Amino acid sequence: MNPTVENSDTRSKAIGDDELADKAAHGDDRAFLELYRRHRRYVLTLVVRTSGRPEDAEDLVQECFFQLHKSLGSFSGRSQFRTWFHGIVVRVCHSATRNRLAQRRRGDAEAEHMDEERLESHAGGDGRDLAGQHALRDWIQSCLDKMSQQHRVPLVLHILAGMELGEIARILAVPEGSIKSRLFHARKRMAICLQENDQ
């Protein structure tokens, strides 16, 4: 292995997200690309689980990183970069959901058709996914899709992102007690949904 490449990889791993964010805020494109490399896969998973729309996931991921790039100057380091970035991801997903609901209220036939395609995809209608590898993921996603965002988002952030109640409360600007209550109801709904699907 080329020692220069190895040393470069070691250095990039040694630099924390906060420092990379600071460098990126001051125009260092390599630092921003490193943030993208580190967080893209995770953001993709979070976007799919939070928005419930796999077909829009790549566009939403790009929007998340676009908003990150625009907002880097406001990152003060008072919270961890990851927590701060989660707030951006959640806002992007909320905005996409509001736009989708607005389309539905206007009777946008195309939006309804896309939802039908998504449901068919979850049922395995497109044939691209191997059922054995993806059945559980799709099963869980179908249960998340049935939840309101009020319950889905805290559950995804807590279970998938491993975030504590206080972090979630800060991101969503909701009292911690409300987050605890939402998580309780979300878990209950998830358990009922999974039981129903198992029958």
Q: What pLDDT is stored for residue 17 in this prediction?
A: 92
Q: What pLDDT is stored for residue 99 in this prediction?
A: 65
Is residue 43 within 8 Å of residue 64, measured between CB atoms?
yes
pTM (predicted TM-score): 0.59
Q: How far apart are CA 162 and CA 191, in angstroms?
A: 19
Sign of CA dihedral 151, 198, 160, 57: negative
DSSP output for 163-174: --HHHHHHHHT-
Domains in the chain: ranges and CATH: 1-128 (1.10.1740.10), 131-199 (1.10.10.10)
Q: How far apart are CA 58 and CA 128, in angstroms?
A: 17
**Along the 199 residues of the chain, how does pLDDT read in single tens digits?**
444 444 445 455 578 999 999 999 998 999 999 999 999 998 988 888 877 667 778 888 999 999 999 999 888 878 889 889 988 988 888 787 766 655 555 554 444 444 444 444 444 444 444 444 456 667 777 788 888 888 888 888 887 777 888 888 888 888 999 999 988 988 888 888 877 766 5
Please give the single-letter amino acid code of residue 112: E
Alpha carbon distances (Å) from 6 to 3, 13, 39, 132, 182:
5, 11, 21, 38, 46
